[in-house]
Structure 1
């Protein structure tokens, strides 16, 4: 089969991040609508948020393993099929029970997409080129969030959330046609003969144990901080009178601020060690989180929020560049999938912890200090535990 060139592969694989961001962002816009129309309780709203993350945990681990066992391309196509099929079903859900069931299915597809997509890039490139390509495909997350904002502010008010979701399902089917042009297999790709249990034991063997533990911890912390700060706390800021955080302009600004964060990270990776670049971005995330949490004016919220987007998503991109290269090709999908499945636990716990802390009287600045503390642990794990080299 003719080799897929770098730029074409970048666009094909980038759709994985675009759809993942599109779905996460769109759900945050849909939840207030279904809360009102279906008269949902706080616990039901929590379930709607958590069930997708549960599906993502299972999808990351299961699809990562299957990518090693069966091959990257068929599993990546299968994850997009699940996403598109799930969103088609979502348009006809009559109540919250069916909505939860369908969101679980969709979550499996979404959670499985990113580790497999990152593994394909890692299989095609080596060294600095690999790291830069992984950061650049992760930058498609910003485009997905912007697209969700446009759909939510332009389409949803006129045609409702069901038509909006239908549009995303049709977009997924179009991307499915594009993915037929993915290469069948790279020169380095091999099909693993290990069963699920042995493959899982392999990534926890002496050879990979240190990398698996450190990467899983870092993914947990980064997703814990990102989802806790970006999905839950804007609602708190609205209650404090800062309605700008639910405006179209704010949402697009936060999304656009991510892009220079990604692109600078991709450039810096070729100039200095990845551990140094990631440390800089994690420290930047801490400072931005502190500024955002203590902001008292809309101007400060906008400025600190933009910097928070810049550093947090840039750190996510560098982690994408770090993770797959820590595992040899035969267990790369499982290693990437396991680390990200642990991260999805952080994505579930972060928003819930915010609600719990507020319920017992914590103020917003104190809550952001919790995230700062977690990020400090992340920096220590990074500097002490990870090697800045690829296999």
Structure 2
């Protein structure tokens, strides 16, 4: 599975590890919020709708940040954009630890989201251009697997903090740990080269709105729809899953940690396998396969009454399959646009989908008041993964934009 790593060059390896570290630490900061939701509800007297609003606002700002980050990567350079965005989200995650009210936390999470969205756009386009084409899908899938590393680290920190400290102190300590990614900037500054690009990159003078030109319009709209489904399914599930296990299933902190640990480990494996599949089966088939599997597993996990043992067993395939779509998107999106529009196009498709999906955590919170948390999560996730299948049908492999936008 990692044979590709042995044949890539030193510069490619340094880029790979820097982007993997950035995405892992990005995940650490973001997932700390979902794990802290019960404590935040208790500290600030929030309703589930309030908690969902924080998640939604963070995703909205991440969508805006993603487009900004993509434009910045096209204008200022991939490496410089990556450094700025990592610093941004690390600083505002740290400051969120000192929030004294719901409104303060909302503003700080919104500012954190700007950097979170921008970091993916800068890192993904950097990886896409630094890694040779025959190994691009595998390398990008492995980087996406870094989300599981950050998520797992967040789970370990959360379990330790909430076991040793009061809930109010625990979530603040966790958010303060979010400053750690800032150290990665020093490594990136010293070791990661800027990818070689043509002096006059196609599309460079056209401006960020060129992704809506007649030649690019269908690609951009279909990519946005795919981003919506991918983000919507993930966030509908995993923003609320710790709360679901705790409140609906009566799981203790340690039991919830076991359930989530299995899901996270399987998620990391799913990213690696998806990276192999996108290079072997193609982008379209891989995404469709994972989307269909996600729909089946969501119904089993959340909409069919199962006991604790079944939840434990279903956690592994659920985590594995939910990884496949996000792990495939960077490889797919990077080959849709010419070099001068690559960061802008990737940042927009990935994050415009995130913008629309921001309504889903809030929707889950509202629906849960009517039909219960499990059905609310399940119905929202099923809708999202259905949109992924629709997007695949609208953007088949081999369309003219796909061929002309291949990375040179």
Fold in common (TM above 0.5): yes
2:4 maps to what in 1?
Answer: none
Output the CA distance in 1 between the equivalents of 2:310 and 2:199. Answer: 51
Q: Does 1:338 align with 2:344?
A: no
CA deviation string 1:81-111 (max 9, x = no partner):
1122213322333322222222222111111
C-alpha deviation, 1:165, in angstroms:
2.3
3-state SS of 1:265 partner = helix
Moved more, 147-156 or 235-244: 235-244
C-alpha deviation, 1:43, in angstroms:
4.6
Output the CA distance in 2 between the equivalents of 1:93 and 1:242. Answer: 29
1:39 corresponds to which of 29, 45, 49: 45
Q: Does 1:109 align with 2:115?
A: yes
Q: 1:320 to 1:330 in 2, by over 3 A?
A: same
Output the CA distance in 1 between the equivalents of 2:273 and 2:202. Answer: 40
1:72 maps to what in 2?
Answer: 78
Q: Does 1:259 align with 2:268?
A: yes
Contact 1:18 1:145 in 2 (8 A): yes
Query: Unaligned stretches of 5+ in structure 2?
Result: 1-8
1:225 maps to what in 2?
Answer: 233
C-alpha deviation, 1:312, in angstroms:
1.0
Contact 2:229 2:386 in 1 (8 A): no
Q: Map residues 123-272 of structure 1 onto 2, 5 A cutoff.
A: 123-158=129-164, 160-169=170-179, 171-188=180-197, 199-243=207-251, 247-272=256-281
1:299 corresponds to which of 309, 318, 324: 309
Q: 1:74 to 1:378 in 2, by over 3 A?
A: same
Query: Unaligned stretches of 5+ in structure 1?
Result: none
C-alpha deviation, 1:137, in angstroms:
0.6
Q: 1:287 to 1:146 in 2, by over 3 A?
A: same
1:288 maps to what in 2?
Answer: 297
Output the CA distance in 1 between the equivalents of 2:110 and 2:377. Answer: 29
Q: Does 1:98 align with 2:108?
A: no
CA deviation string 1:286-340 (max 9, x = no partner):
1111211214211221222321110111221011221122111101111011112
Q: 1:34 to 1:273 in 2, by over 3 A?
A: closer
Normalised to the residue count of structure 1, the TM-score between the two structures is 0.90
Output the CA distance in 2 between the equivalents of 1:38 and 1:364. Answer: 24
C-alpha deviation, 1:163, in angstroms:
2.7
RMSD of aligned Cα (Å) = 2.6
C-alpha deviation, 1:371, in angstroms:
3.2
Moved more, 110-119 or 280-289: 280-289
Contact 2:287 2:328 in 1 (8 A): yes
Contact 1:69 1:193 in 2 (8 A): no
